[in-house]
Amino acid sequence: MTAKVKILKERCKGCGLCVLACPKQNLSLGKKFNASGYAYAKAGDDCIGCGFCAELCPDIAIRVFKAEKQAASAKK
Ligand code: SF4
Ligand code: SF4
């Protein structure tokens, strides 16, 4: 795992755009519902930190955390 993704479940509306965007099939729609009644997305452990899901999410419900080393080398 080179990165980690966190779904802010109370912001998620279960649209599934992030699921379609992920090149690693690391995201899926779960079977649990948030307080608004939406089945929110959940993440696995196979994230590469590309950020496609976070860019696409219309509800800004995804945070991507990259590993320290990777973030440092990306700046060079
Ligand atoms: S950052 Fe990229 S690899 Fe990670 S969950 Fe989002 S789309 Fe998938
Ligand atoms: S794109 Fe955003 S709102 Fe849609 S399922 Fe993914 S996290 Fe939820």
Residue nearest to atom 4 of ligand 1 (CA): 47
Q: Which atom of ligand 1 is nearest to the CA of 43?
A: 5
Q: What are phi and psi of 3, to 5 degrees?
A: -155, 170
21 touches 56 (CB < 8 A)? yes
Range of the domain at 17: 3-75
User: What's the sign of the alpha-carbon dihedral 13, 15, 16, 22?
Assistant: negative
For the chain, what is the domain count? 1
The enclosing domain of 31 has a CATH number of 3.30.70.3270
* Ligand 1 within 6 A of CB of 17: no
54 touches 62 (CB < 8 A)? yes
The per-residue pLDDT string of the chain (76 residues; one tens digit each, 9 = 90 and over) reads 589 999 999 999 999 999 999 999 999 999 999 999 999 999 999 999 999 999 999 999 999 999 776 555 555 4
